[in-house]
Structure 1
Amino acid sequence: MYDAFVTALAVFVGVAFHELFGLGMFSRPIVVAPLTGLLMGDVQTGLLVGASLEAIFMGVVNIGISGSAEPALAAGLATAFSIKMGGNTHAILPLVFPIAVVGLQLLNMIFSFVCGPWASKFFKYAEQADEKKITRLHFGMWFVHFGLYALIPFFAVLLGAGAVKTILNSIPHVIMNGLTVAGNLLPAVGMAMLMQMLWDNKIAIWFFFGAILMAYLKLPLIAIAALGTVIAIAIAQRDFQLKKMSNKTILATDNDSTTDSGLNSEEEDFFK
């Protein structure tokens, strides 16, 4: 019962606070999984699951009712089941993406069919200019929406991984195969989306530099990140020095121009 409650609490914190603070990224696996592990007494497994799932869901960003998967539910359940299975994260990861896809659909259904009918109340209270009722209704629907959603991981952990697997097995194989293929593509899609946002031809050489370090020199990611930090600091210091030199040149030019203007003005006064 305790494991089910803390898993539900971690998922609730992830999805609810993510929305409460304006897409604050609390629902990311790197947040929910370690939190679940901390509450269940195994932070190490939580960190391992969180890092593994973050690579999968890196390119997944759900905006409004349009999205592909809900990572908080997957992260909470994957951590809980992995801890119950003695830290065996590899056995539970194949179930993660289908759980996330189903979870998002359930989250949207709760929003549409439970919270949706209350929308007219907001218009009514707005016409009455009753701010207190609007605030109470807003936070009430916020708690109901994500509270009902948190019941899913609660009963999932309470019933066990076997029950979850049985439910997922009832989904047609064609759909499951499609979800599996999509899940395998997600890490590459996530990296591609990040590269598309960050790509700049002026600094593209550093991307290939990092790829060479990893592919041919077999350096770990931490070493590459540390090396990148050193290079970034060195470039920043050089740019700062160049900017100071440029400012001095501009200042000297302005002073020369001012001096020349003063001399010309004196000459004009003399000949007058």
Structure 2
Amino acid sequence: MIQWWQILLLTLYSAYQICDELTIVSSAGSPVFAGFISGLIMGDMGTGLAIGASLQLMVLGVGTFGGASRIDATSGAVLATAFSVAQGIDPELAVTTIAVPVAALLVYTDILGRMTTTYFAHRVDAAVERFDYKGIERNYLLGAIPWALSRALPVFLALALGGGFVQTVVDWIASVQWFANGLTLAGRMLPGLGFAILLHYLPVKRNLHYLAAGFGITAMLTVIYSNIQTLGGTVASYLAPINELLPEDGALAFSNNFKGLPMIGIAIIGALLAVLHYKNSQRTVVAPTTSNVESGEIEDDEI
């Protein structure tokens, strides 16, 4: 059951996140941040981050260039996290049954919000002609209201009225096992789709060597860390029965705290490659012509 204060906080965040995305751009309007905030409010940050990360990867290479509308994965992450925690829905199933449909439907409210703000934009133009600075400021701030409502209103209605309906839909999907398995598989494919879209927009052909290097480094480190984890687990399993036979003061101390491949390590390597690429692109070597150096003459275009 979603509490009233949780509905209020999630609604307020939904109103703020789109304004942040359009003005401050602090990443508070990203799906992974929405999953974090929603999970924090609902009391299950793990589920929120899992859902938010899946949707973040799905829209990784998608932008609203030229004022184009895209699926609202952020609001989808909010609703999917809220219902996943409240109704006990599997996160992967919540992504495909709640987040993706909601994200697609909110394209229409996004368009409605864009159309409504044009009214305030024309009022700003009129205030500019009158040199009415207070009017410019007032209409600019009023233009944020349609944007905020385009997200807050659907989220509020879904959270306040849609719990029973969502549970009914999820129960029906769970009863049709092949359909549920198909949606789960589709949810696992969405991050790959996001990467494919991102690679489509990136200059991959020109930087193919960096892509290959990153893939190779990740693959090798994954194998190394997996083997270390396996070795640590094996040693711990052998020491456990031995320590049961030994006195407490003579037990062999071993802690299997080997972690998986840290993504921060991959991020550092990526940052290093990005800096190297930037520095290489800034190097411009201009060799003077031999004739000018030997004669000492200055051409017209050198003055």
Q: Residue 3 of structure 1 contacts residue 157 of structure 1 at CA under 8 Å; is this kept in 2?
A: no
Q: Which residue of 1 aligns with 2:73?
A: 71
Q: Residue 4 of structure 1 contacts residue 155 of structure 1 at CA under 8 Å; is this kept in 2?
A: no
Q: Please say if 1:210 is aligned against 2:191.
A: no
Which one of the candidate residues 96, 99, 110 is aligned to 1:94? 96
Q: Distance in 2 between matches of 1:105 and 1:155?
A: 16
Q: Please say if 1:226 is aligned against 2:233.
A: no
Q: Which residue of 2 aligns with 1:191?
A: 195
Unaligned runs of 5+ in 1: 170-179, 241-272
Trace 1:1-272 onto structure 2 (pairs within 5 A).
1-21=4-24, 23-86=25-88, 88-95=90-97, 96-112=99-115, 114-163=116-165, 186-195=190-199, 197=202, 199=204, 200-210=207-217, 212-213=219-220, 219=226, 222-223=261-262, 226=265, 229=268
Work out the percentage of aligned pairs sharing the same amino acid: 23
Q: Distance in 1 between matches of 2:168 and 2:37?
A: 27
Q: Distance in 2 between matches of 1:232 and 1:158?
A: 44
Q: Residue 49 of structure 1 contacts residue 79 of structure 1 at CA under 8 Å; is this kept in 2?
A: yes
Distance of aligned partners of 1:4 and 1:60 in 2 relative to their CA distance in 1, 3 Å threshold:
same
Taking CA–CA contacts closer than 8 Å with sequence separation of 6 or more, which of the two structures ends up with the larger relative contact order? 1
Unaligned runs of 5+ in 2: 173-182, 227-258, 280-303
AA aligned to 2:265 is: A
Q: Distance in 2 between matches of 1:65 and 1:182?
A: 29
- Cα distance, 1:184 vs. partner? 7.2
Q: Residue 59 of structure 1 contacts residue 187 of structure 1 at CA under 8 Å; is this kept in 2?
A: no
TM-score, with structure 1 as normaliser: 0.68
Over the aligned positions, Cα root-mean-square deviation in angstroms equals 3.7
- Cα distance, 1:204 vs. partner? 4.1
- Cα distance, 1:224 vs. partner? 6.6
- Cα distance, 1:194 vs. partner? 3.6
Report which of the two has the higher share of helix.
1
Q: Distance in 2 between matches of 1:24 and 1:38?
A: 18
- Cα distance, 1:225 vs. partner? 5.4
Distance of aligned partners of 1:123 and 1:146 in 2 relative to their CA distance in 1, 3 Å threshold:
same
- Cα distance, 1:30 vs. partner? 0.8
Q: Distance in 1 between matches of 2:140 and 2:8?
A: 25
Q: How many residues align?
A: 226
TM-score, with structure 2 as normaliser: 0.62
